[in-house]
């Protein structure tokens, strides 16, 4: 999802439609796994119906923490994983200028892994159910 600081949203060029992002510095991470790329601004723009996006002005980071920090500092609009910025959003440190998000490929999914020997343990089952309930509360 796109995120930025409230100050950037208030004082920078307006963000009323996706094309308005052309007037902002954009940040994302460069990460791939098994030949699949983590979502980037080109992918997001395509999903938003913008096909003439030039990514030559984007800041590309090796970690999501750095991309998020650029947004927190008011230096960029970052493309972030909702789970990684949910706290910053709820605390008002970041805002979502657009609701559109794009799904992360299954290769980047989180998995709950535990030994076969404890699969029937009530504590494991309770934790698994709690985790599923919490995940269901999180917007995608």
Domain range list for the chain? 2-103, 110-140
Q: What's the count of helices (H) and strands (E) in the chain, helices before strands?
A: 5, 6
Q: Give the model confidence (pLDDT) of 78-107 as tens digits.
A: 999 888 899 999 999 999 999 988 777 666
- Helix axis angle for 82-90 and 64-72, nearest 10°, is 30
Q: Give the model confidence (pLDDT) of 11-63 as tens digits.
A: 989 999 999 999 999 999 887 666 667 788 999 999 999 999 988 889 999 88
Question: In angstroms, how far is the first alpha carbon of the chain from the final one?
Answer: 9
Which residues in 98-137 are b (16+ Cβ under 10 Å) and which e?
beebeebeeebeeeeeeeeeeeeeeeeeeeeeeeeeeeee
CATH class label, 2-103? alpha beta
Confidence of residue 136 (pLDDT cuts 50, 70, 90): confident
């Amino acid at each position: 999802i796109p995120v930025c600081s409230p100050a950037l949203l208030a004082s920078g060029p307006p963000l009323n439609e996706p094309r308005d992002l052309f007037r902002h510095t954009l940040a994302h991470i460069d990460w791939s796994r098994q030949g699949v790329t983590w979502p980037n601004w080109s992918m997001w723009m395509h999903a938003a119906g913008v096909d003439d996006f030039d990514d030559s002005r984007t800041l590309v980071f090796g970690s999501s923490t750095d991309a998020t920090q650029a947004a927190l500092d008011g230096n960029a609009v970052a493309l972030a994983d909702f789970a990684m910025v949910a706290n910053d959003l709820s605390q008002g440190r970041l805002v979502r200028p657009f609701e559109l998000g794009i799904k992360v490929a299954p290769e980047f999914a989180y998995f709950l892994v535990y030994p076969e020997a404890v699969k029937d343990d009530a504590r494991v089952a309770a934790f698994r159910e709690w985790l599923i309930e919490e995940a269901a509360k999180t917007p995608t």
